[in-house]
């Protein structure tokens, strides 16, 4: 199933930034307090992520990189199923299929760490290693064994820009995490832990924007929205200044974007888009995240309810303001 594994891997791993996204999410899930990311050549040569999270038990390391869906694929019908239904628990399996992969991990109560290497899907035996508690993952030569995909990587600067965007989304969603990003050994972001989202917004987007942001906060039943929106005079030609998060993860959502546009109707020049950093909290039972393997598209059970909450909150906020 080697070819099928590589096709399947390509469904999840499109470019270096997709790797960084998956690894960052894993480090966050492992309750890390500190995450360092090192990138070389836009991620084509090296992606390294070091966290101080709970680590993986030695017995579980082989499972962590084992493919669950692809190992069961026997024909085209199954492959179709994987492509349409998406992957769960497939990120490390997919990444290690198309790179030179090394994982080192240690749980705090273990005397030593373990190391696992996978070369284009070929797994080497587990080795003991010395390492601090947490997990370190190194990915070299991404797509070395899928030459077409490697050839279609953009310039290091462009690939790094995509990585930086993924890093930014996780950093905004988790201000309490100390996070570091380096490219070609140069520091790009060094973000100390903070309790205040606004501190992080200031570091990413400058104090001028941060000082003029309007805080919002409202709950309705089990739904909650909070965050900041910018003054109408602070707007952009695209939606790139809009960051939406659902239950702590960045999401893309047309309906909520539309609610934002509606709220600013008449306040912005034609073609301009408002800047917003908004956090939505919803009981997990109200959300289906299994729409796409990369999990950034979600479906709300009741998207109208969230739409109305956001729109009315913003309208009420703007009502008493001199904008
Ligand atoms: P998923 O996150 O969907 O379970 P992944 O392939 O991303 O699938 O990761 C597989 C498993 O490896 C995770 O479920 C987790 O148990 C373990 N794992 C991966 N990265 C880390 C990490 N940084 N710290 C601790 N455990 C990790
Ligand atoms: Mg994962």
Residues, beta carbon < 5 Å, ion ligand 2: 26, 91
pLDDT tens track for 129-147 = 999 999 999 999 999 999 9
pLDDT band at 308 (very low <50, low <70, confident <90, very high): very high
Task: State which ligand 1 atom lies nearest to the alpha carbon of 27.
Answer: 23
Residue 17 CA to residue 15 CA, distance in Å, equals 5
pLDDT band at 294 (very low <50, low <70, confident <90, very high): low
Å from CA of 53 to ligand 2 middle: 14
Residue 135 CA to residue 157 CA, distance in Å, equals 27
More confident residue, 290 or 119: 119
Does the pLDDT of residue 80 top 50, yes or no? no
Residue 287 has a pLDDT of: 83
Residue 236 Rama label (left phi>0; alpha psi -120 to 50; beta): beta
Specify the residue for token string 């050839």: 151
Residue 314 CA to residue 262 CA, distance in Å, equals 10
Decide: 22 in ligand 1 pocket, CB within 6 A: yes
Distance of CA 12 to the CA centre of its chain: 13
Decide: 113 in ligand 1 pocket, CB within 6 A: no
CATH number of the domain at 2-191, out of 3.40.190.10, 3.90.76.10, 3.30.360.30, 3.30.565.10?
Answer: 3.30.565.10
Does the pLDDT of residue 86 top 90, yes or no? no
Mean pLDDT to the nearest integer, 294-298: 67
Minimum CA distance residue for ligand 1 atom 25 = 55
Decide: 135 in ligand 1 pocket, CB within 6 A: yes
Residue 292 has a pLDDT of: 61
pTM: 0.92
89 phi and psi angles, rounded to 5 deg: 65, 35
Decide: 97 in ligand 1 pocket, CB within 6 A: no
Does the pLDDT of residue 1 top 60, yes or no? no
Secondary structure of the chain in HEC code, one letter for each residue: CHHHHHHHHHHHCCCHHHHHHHHHHHHHHCCCCEEEEEEEHHHCCEEEEEECCCCCCHHHHHHHHCCCCHHHCCCHHHHHHHHHHCCCCCHHHHHHHCCEEEEEEECCCCCCEEEEEEECCEECCCEEECCCCEEEEEEECCCCCCHHHHHCCCCHHHHHHHHHHHHHHHHHHCCCCEEEEEECCEEEEEECCCCCHHHHHHHHHCHHHHHCCEEEEEEECCEEEEEEECCCCCEECCHHHEEEEECCEEEECHHHHHHHHHHCCCCCCCCCEECEEEEEECCHHHEECCCCCCCCECEECCHHHHHHHHHHHHHHHHHCCCC
Decide: 53 in ligand 1 pocket, CB within 6 A: yes
Å from CA of 30 to ligand 2 middle: 10
Does the pLDDT of residue 109 top 50, yes or no? yes
pLDDT tens track for 182-201 = 999 999 999 999 999 999 99
Contact assessment for residue 183 and residue 39, using Cβ atoms and an 8 Å cutoff: yes
pLDDT band at 323 (very low <50, low <70, confident <90, very high): confident
% of the chain exceeding 70 in pLDDT:
90
Beta-strand relationship, 242-246 and 276-281: parallel
CATH number of the domain at 200-319, out of 3.40.50.970, 3.30.230.10, 3.40.50.1820, 3.30.70.360?
Answer: 3.30.230.10
Residue 303 has a pLDDT of: 82
Å from CA of 262 to ligand 1 middle: 39
Specify the residue for token string 């890093």: 167
Does the pLDDT of residue 68 top 90, yes or no? no
Complex ipTM, two decimals? 0.99
Does the pLDDT of residue 104 top 90, yes or no? yes
Residue 92 CA to residue 77 CA, distance in Å, equals 24
Domain boundaries, the chain: 2-191, 200-319
pLDDT band at 278 (very low <50, low <70, confident <90, very high): very high
Average per-residue pLDDT in the chain?
Answer: 90
Residue 88 has a pLDDT of: 58
Mean pLDDT to the nearest integer, 275-302: 79
Does the pLDDT of residue 235 top 70, yes or no? yes
More confident residue, 67 or 132: 132
pLDDT band at 288 (very low <50, low <70, confident <90, very high): confident
Residue 320 has a pLDDT of: 83
Residue 284 has a pLDDT of: 85
Residue 3 has a pLDDT of: 73
Which residues are within 8 A (CB) of 25 and not within 5 positions of it... i.e. 6 or more apart? 170, 249
Contact assessment for residue 201 and residue 245, using Cβ atoms and an 8 Å cutoff: no
């Amino acid at each position: 199933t080697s070819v099928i594994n590589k096709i399947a891997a390509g469904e999840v791993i499109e470019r270096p930034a997709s790797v960084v996204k998956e690894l960052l999410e894993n480090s966050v899930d492992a309750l890390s307090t500190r995450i360092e990311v090192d990138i070389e050549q836009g991620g084509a040569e090296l992606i390294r992520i070091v966290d101080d999270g709970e680590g993986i038990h030695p017995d579980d390391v082989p499972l962590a990189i084992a493919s669950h869906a692809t190992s069961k694929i026997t024909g085209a019908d199954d492959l179709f199923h994987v492509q349409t239904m998406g992957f769960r628990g497939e990120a490390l399996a997919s990444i290690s299929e198309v790179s030179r992969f090394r994982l080192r991990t240690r749980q705090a109560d273990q005397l030593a760490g373990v190391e696992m290497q996978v070369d284009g899907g070929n797994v080497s035996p587990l080795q003991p290693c010395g390492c601090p508690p947490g997990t370190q993952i190194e990915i070299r030569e991404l797509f070395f064994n899928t030459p077409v995909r490697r050839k279609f990587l953009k310039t290091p600067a462009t690939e790094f820009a995509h990585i930086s965007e993924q890093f930014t989304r996780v950093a905004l969603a988790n201000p309490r995490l100390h996070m570091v990003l380096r490219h070609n050994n140069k520091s790009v972001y060094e973000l100390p832990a903070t309790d205040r989202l606004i501190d992080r917004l200031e570091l990413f987007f400058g104090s001028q924007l941060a000082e003029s942001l309007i805080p919002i906060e409202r709950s309705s039943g089990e739904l909650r929205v909070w965050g900041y929106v910018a003054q109408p005079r602070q707007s952009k030609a695209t939606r790139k200044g809009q960051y939406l998060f659902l239950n702590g993860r960045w999401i893309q959502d047309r309906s909520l974007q539309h609610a934002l546009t509606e709220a600013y109707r008449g306040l912005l020049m034609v073609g301009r888009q408002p800047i917003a950093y908004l956090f939505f909290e919803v009981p997990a039972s109200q959300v289906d995240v299994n729409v796409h393997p990369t999990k950034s598209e979600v479906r709300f059970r009741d998207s109208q309810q969230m739409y109305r909450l956001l729109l009315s909150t913003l309208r009420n906020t703007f009502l008493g303001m001199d904008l």
